A and B are shown apart, each in its own frame.
Chain A
Amino acid sequence: MAKVKRPGVDEPDIVAGVGGAESSALLSELVAHLREQRTLLREEWARRITEAKLLTAMSKDEIFAEATSVYDNYVEALETGTFEALQAYARNLSERIIPRGVETHEVVGIVLLLRDVLARSLFGKYQRDFEKLNRILDAYEPAANRIANTVAVGFVQERERVIRQQQEAIRELSTPVLQVRERLLILPIIGVIDTQRARQLMEQLLRGIRTNRAKVVVIDITGVAAMDATVANHLVQTVEASRLLGAIVIVTGLSPEIAQTLVNIGVDLGKMNTVGDLQGGIEEAERLLGYKVAQLSEASPTA
């Protein structure tokens, strides 16, 4: 059995099936080989990436630079058997390349290409000693698989994080609570309302009522195309909750489709104050608040 060169390293789970000490010796040998061939293999890899038309969003130099650092991280992960550094690197890399439109299949593709390039180089080196090649591959394959897995998962996770963040941002943007007069709020709702958004709307509105000391709220749903029973129910709940804070809710802009839906599903409309359009809603609200808007003179065209 070969002598263990680095006794500090013990990562049995990546080398399952092979004797721990032996395989870490083999891995060390493997790593030494990959370090030695670094320039060559790296260039080969970058060439194969370009050839396979992956990472088209990046320039040749960039690909080479990234290839270098991925290569080094890859070899390091092989050597140490720990994946934290690689994970962090994969996350960082994903953060940089996702905005440039790099797809999941490209990332998985390049990692598998590297795996292929390295495996070929190992074949080349050990093809005369079949026994040894077998053992080297036994040590290499599980580690390489795990690396590929780590990078791909890191990429997908980062992507999902970005998507979540954007969804959050869209939600925040899409539900403004606006004060148009003292004690009068407007909540224009545009787009699709799902249960979560309806819930968030209610929370935001209630907070808005409290901070602005609103007495009347106009919820305008002109921009809502459809509404199902759950969401309609949320709307009724919003009206009820606002009343508990002492505010009257006026709902405006119900489309014919929504009106039909509400009647068909039998929502209790007795408690709902509805007015045809936003203008009518604001006028009604002004009346409730005791405002009187008067025209001072005929508008004249600007000179």
Chain B
Amino acid sequence: MQVPILKQGHFVIASIQSALTDDDLLQLRDALVQQVGRYRSRGVIVDVTVLDVMDSFAVRTVRDIAHMTRLRGAETVIVGIQPDVAFAMVQLGLKLEGIACALDLEEGLAYLDQKTKNSARRGY
């Protein structure tokens, strides 16, 4: 299952639509890291609202995405982690240290807007 990656201004949004296999996750990672460069994006949003399970591999991949895109010049925000998923993650010791999280897409966009306001001149 391919994850659609949408371009929205200076940001790219990866909107996960269903449960993902490990291969899907790696594919998503590669695609995002590549597209950040192609679109010259300042921010990446990974929407995980539909995931009701996040295992260690998924968390690690998300962390990798954040670190890799940061090296390519874009800040990553994870949005839409479900309360139960958050609960399970901390119980299992799966951390997303140093990676921004937001409640939903709207919040994530607001965060990135805020974050890039000072450092980048906005315009298309």
Contacts and interface: CB of A to CB of B under 8 A. Distances in A.
Interface stretch (A44-52, A62-70, A95-103, A205-213): A205-213
B28 interface: no
A203 B103 contact: no
A157 interface: no
A237 interface: yes
A295 B57 CA distance: 52
Nearest to A238: B90
Nearest to A243: B101
Nearest to B83: A206
B103 A209 contact: yes
A271 to B, nearest CB: 8
Nearest to B82: A210
B103 A241 contact: no
B31 interface: no
Interface in B69-124: 78-79, 81-87, 89-91, 95-96, 100-103, 107-108, 111
Contacts of B84: 206
A245 B90 contact: no
Contacts, number: 51
B93 to A, nearest CB: 9
Contact of B87 (A203, A215, A243): A203
Q: Looking at chain B, what size class is its interface with the partner chain?
A: 20 to 34
Interface string B32-47: 0000000000000000
Contacts of B111: 246
A241 B95 CA distance: 9
Q: How large is the interface on A (under 10, 10 to 19, 20 to 34, 35 or more residues)?
A: 10 to 19
A213 B83 CA distance: 12
Nearest to A237: B90
A246 B87 contact: no
A155 B96 CA distance: 51
A25 interface: no
The winner among B79, B81, B90, B111 for most chain A CB atoms within 10 A is B90
A257 B45 CA distance: 42
Nearest to A202: B87
Interface of B: 78-79, 81-87, 89-91, 95-96, 100-103, 107-108, 111
Interface of A: 202-203, 206-207, 209-210, 213, 215, 237-238, 240-247
